[in-house]
Amino acid sequence: MIAGSKMLKEHREFLKRSELSGLAENFSWTVEGSNAAINYSTHGIYRYFGKFPAPIGRQLMLDYSKPGGVVVDPACGSGTTGVEALWMQNDAYLFDLNPLSVLVSKVKTTPISAKRMENASEKFQQRYKSLRKGSFEPAGIDLEHWFLPETVRSLSRMRNAIDEETNRDLRNFLEMNFAAIVRKVSKATTQQGRLFLDVDTAVPDPLPVLLKSIGKSIENISKLPKSSTVHIQKANILNNESLDKINADLVIYHPPYFNAYKYSSINSLELAWIQQDRKGFSKQEIREFFKVGKPENSKFYVEDMAKSILNLQKFMGKNTRLAIMIGDALLKEQHLTVTREIIDLVSEHFEVERTVLRVPKYTEASWATSQRRSSGSLGITMFDFILTLRKRK
């Protein structure tokens, strides 16, 4: 699903503006197929904004690992690397600071039989119907602002019914599908990562939406391969002590982009309903300055990114490759060369082996279309990069 694109003049010019020309051999890639086509297997069971593209993960494993090898993803997001590792027969170790990411990644990479999930769903529905009123009320969000009263009552009953599931994997399964519908049934728009009101899309009765999500998940989770193992835990990439020492073939790192998404904020509704306090980890996130349009703040993002990359040496031997998918930023018509600044800060320990320019399709629902089109024009003004690094000898 990865097609090599011709390195056009505009691509070379962009690399030059980004100050990445001459670092290594340059390539350009385009992810082929529709959004539906690339959301195969469990990739599409949870809508996750800023998701790492599955075909890129698969291509990186083809390039730098092999069946039976070990892949690490220190900021796993929605678990894309883990799902691809299962299909590519790689063992994988995933980490993330966000408890929602940990939950979603676990469910997307844990094979469970269809019968067990169907039984869990039926018992959940029985418990839900037997409850006249839910007792759970999420903290930290304005319920009246974001939800209809009848939606809140139903979600509260769902939360209580899920909590009565005693099997950990099945409870995770129910809870992830519950989290997957929170935004869909709220007054918030589902078309953008950032929270904006769209009252007309609110759903008074969320149960049919949940059951549809569960049905889709059962179909895809039950088909997951069992040929390898995915290990997932909560950890802070900025805290070296929280990361286990692992000797990997490949480390895949898809960090937050500067001024794009602050995940504790865009997931605030879901986090509240799965009983997680986003304030407990938001200050530990990489400083990407969500919504704050000040170019000078990029230096803090660059510092945190460099620190996180240096911490990844914990996973790397002499033959390990580190693949980073990252982008510069366009802020107030100023091109911020944050990628080059990060590379410069880690250059004593790492050298760039390959530079890939990811060329997004015009129809692609991604950061590449949200930030990177010129106003009044269909031309893409920004691209992101997939840089392959190795430790200096």
Q: Answer yes or no: is pLDDT of 107 > 70.
A: yes
Q: Which of 136-140, 364-368, 371-375 has the highest mean pLDDT?
A: 136-140
Distance CA 42, CA 32 (A): 19
| Mean pLDDT across 351-378 | 62
Q: Answer yes or no: is pLDDT of 68 > 70.
A: yes
Q: Answer yes or no: is pLDDT of 322 > 70.
A: yes
Contact, 147 vs 155, CB < 8 A? yes
Q: Which residues neighbour 1 within 8 Å (Cβ) at sequence distance 6 or greater?
A: 31, 32, 33, 37, 38, 55, 58
183, 238, 363 from 281: Cα distances, Å: 21, 12, 34
Q: Which residues neighbour 167 within 8 Å (Cβ) at sequence distance 6 or greater?
A: 120
pLDDT of the residue at 291: 61
Task: Name residue 30's beta-bridge partners.
Answer: 3
Distance CA 55, CA 81 (A): 10
Q: Answer yes or no: is pLDDT of 162 > 70.
A: yes
Distance CA 52, CA 238 (A): 20
Per-residue confidence band for 21, with pLDDT thresholds at 50, 70 and 90: very high
Q: Answer yes or no: is pLDDT of 1 > 80.
A: no
User: What domains are defined for the chain?
Assistant: 2-111+224-247+264-324+338-391 (3.40.50.150), 114-221 (no CATH)
8, 86, 233, 313, 320 from 393: Cα distances, Å: 34, 32, 31, 13, 12
| Mean pLDDT across 311-339 | 93
| Mean pLDDT across 188-211 | 92
**Amino acid occupying residue 178:** F
Higher pLDDT, 265 or 126: 126
Q: Answer yes or no: is pLDDT of 371 > 90.
A: no
- Number of neighbours of residue 76 by Cβ within 10 angstroms: 30
Per-residue confidence band for 227, with pLDDT thresholds at 50, 70 and 90: confident
Q: Vertex 333, ends 331 and 337: CA angle to 5°?
A: 60
- Classify 197 as helix, strand or coil: strand
| Mean pLDDT across 86-98 | 97
Specify the pairing of strand 316-327 against strand 70-73. Answer: unpaired
Task: Name residue 325's beta-bridge partners.
Answer: 386
Q: Answer yes or no: is pLDDT of 369 > 70.
A: no
Q: Answer yes or no: is pLDDT of 76 > 50.
A: yes
Which helix (H) or strand (E) covers residue 251, if one does?
strand 248-253
Higher pLDDT, 234 or 289: 234
Instruction: Supply the mean pLDDT for the chain.
Output: 91
- pTM, 2 dp: 0.94
- Which segments of 113-168 are extended strands (E)? none
In our burial notation (b when 16+ CB lie closer than 10 A, e otherwise), range 145-161 reads: ebbbeebbebbbbbbbb
pLDDT of the residue at 378: 33
Q: Answer yes or no: is pLDDT of 4 > 80.
A: no
Pick from 246, 281, 245, 322: nearest CA to 102: 281
pLDDT of the residue at 7: 83
pLDDT over 90 for what percent of the chain? 77
Enter the tokens of residue 48.
């996750």
In the block, tokens 């399964």 appear at 173
